[in-house]
Chains A and B, each alone.
Chain A
Amino acid sequence: EPEVTQTPSHQVTQMGQEVILRCVPISNHLYFYWYRQILGQKVEFLVSFYNNEISEKSEIFDDQFSVERPDGSNFTLKIRSTKLEDSAMYFCASGGSYGDQPQHFGDGTRLSIL
């Protein structure tokens, strides 16, 4: 069964450094998402991406965050200057042809900011 893959599984970064999280969505999906989950809390929406542009973003997704689909397969989340509060699990998800189709999640990247 096709799946969403994320790399790395764990990223440790010094505060203030840039970090890029990578995702390979399911190949025929058109909608792409990033969510985050702080330890022990619920999953929070960050951004949705369709047709090579952001379709919606949350208040969390400020100017320090950006997303990109640099080629036909990868979908990346960049945090320019990381803060301690950015420490969380970051999940990539992808969905089919319409925004209200099922979203399938990867196993996440644990981001630890020191």
Chain B
Amino acid sequence: GENVEQHPSTLSVQEGDSAVIKCTYSDSASNYFPWYKQELGKGPQLIIDIRSNVGEKKDQRIAVTLNKTAKHFSLHITETQPEDSAVYFCAAPPPGSGNTGKLIFGQGTTLQVKP
């Protein structure tokens, strides 16, 4: 089945610096890659997603890049702020899931932004 590997598991940056989180996936047929932010006591919140027909997508300080050849996608957060501190999860659909919407999540990255 699909295996989604996420790195690093923890990331600490100074406020204003950039943060990059990377995920690799195993199924070359995967075509949809969301990123979720989870704050303490809350559910995962979709922050950005990308489909396999584009290589990059931006939304203000957040961007996602996709390298289909290498089967990895990355979350980039620029000008980090303390409120960016949270756990970030990547996800991808497993092979053979058809149109069911099933997502396999990465292990999560705990991002700490130090003021």
Contact = CB atoms under 8 A, between A and B. Distances in A.
Interface of A: 4, 6, 31, 33, 41-45, 48, 50, 55-56, 58, 91, 95, 98-108
B48 to A, nearest CB: 10
Interface residues of B, number: 26
B9 to A, nearest CB: 11
Q: B interface, by DSSP: helix, strand, loop or mixed?
A: loop
B107 A100 contact: no
A107 B41 contact: yes
A99 B43 contact: no
A102 B100 contact: no
A100 B102 contact: no
B34 A102 contact: yes
Contacts of A31: 101
B46 A99 contact: no
Interface of B: 31-32, 34, 36, 41-46, 49, 89, 91, 93, 97-108
Contacts of A42: 89, 105-108
A99 B44 contact: no
Nearest to A102: B46
Contacts of B97: 56, 99
* Most chain A CB neighbours (cut-off 10 Å) among B31, B89, B100, B101: B101
27 contacts: A4-B43, A41-B107, A42-B106, A43-B36, A43-B105, A44-B105, A45-B103, A48-B102, A55-B98, A55-B101, A56-B98, A95-B101, A99-B99, A99-B101, A100-B31, A100-B32, A100-B93, A100-B101, A101-B101, A102-B49, A103-B101, A104-B46, A105-B36, A106-B43, A107-B43, A108-B42, A108-B43
B105 A55 contact: no
A82 B103 CA distance: 25
| In the A-B complex, the 3 residue pairs with the closest CB atoms | A99-B99, A99-B101, A105-B43
A81 B62 CA distance: 43
B34 A48 contact: no
A7 to B, nearest CB: 13
Contacts of A104: 46
Contacts of A103: 34, 46, 101, 103
